[in-house]
Chain A
Amino acid sequence: NAGVMQNPRHLVRRRGQEARLRCSPMKGHSHVYWYRQLPEEGLKFMVYLQKENIIDESGMPKERFSAEFPKEGPSILRIQQVVRGDSAAYFCASSPDQTYEQYFGPGTRLTVT
């Protein structure tokens, strides 16, 4: 059973470009969570999604950030017009229904130049 998969593992974007981060949950998991880790910080919750639904986006910046988890395919975290402050590691986690166990992917390290 493959774990949570994220791609790309490393992403470099120039200021003003768009970043798309992908997350494929573990097989059988229908809940996806995105977290951001700034340098020397713990992880901060961004958004919680189930298939085709955003359940809680209270940690998402109001502008430039969006997330989706379509019926088919991976979850996507999209950052428009990136700025240097968006440089961070973005982690995706997944869980099966009705449990409190979240399993994390290896992360995407975004660098904005």
Chain B
Amino acid sequence: GEDVEQSLFLSVREGDSSVINCTYTDSSSTYLYWYKQEPGAGLQLLTYIFSNMDMKQDQRLTVLLNKKDKHLSLRIADTQTGDSAIYFCAEMRSSNYKLTFGKGTLLTVNP
């Protein structure tokens, strides 16, 4: 199976919170990332978390890591229409510098 898995779609109302989930398989993953991709654009690094942390908050973004279950989530508070994009979860193993990406979650924010 895939090393990093995400649900493909999420739809929320403007002003609600969005939670995007991700699971990974490699216990040696050292860093876990969230990237945002808008249509036709490159990837924007939103945030990342070290595997020895369980939470990281940055303005409207909260990342939660459950290392035991190999589960990562990204919560976006007060979701805006400008948050509509594809969100990629990625992991990097301690032994190399390759990012391994999930297939991405398309977040649609409805007015």
Interface, chain A (partner B; CB < 8 A) = 4, 6, 31, 33, 35, 40-45, 48, 55-56, 58-59, 91, 93, 95, 100-107
Q: Mark B1-29, 1 if CB is under 8 A from A, else 0.
A: 00010000000000000000000000000
Chain A residue at smallest Cβ distance from B104 = A42
Summed over the interface, the residue pairs from A and B with CB atoms below 8 Å come to a total of 60
Known: A42-B102, A42-B104, A48-B97. A101 touches B48 (CB 8 A): yes
- Determine the interface band of chain B, counting residues with CB < 8 A from chain A: 20 to 34
Dominant SS at the A interface? strand
Residues of A near B41 (CB, < 8 A) are 106-107
Q: Measured between alpha carbons, how far is A100 from B48 in the docked complex, in Å?
A: 9
Q: Measured between alpha carbons, how far is A59 from B100 in the docked complex, in Å?
A: 11
Q: Measured between alpha carbons, how far is A15 from B39 in the docked complex, in Å?
A: 27
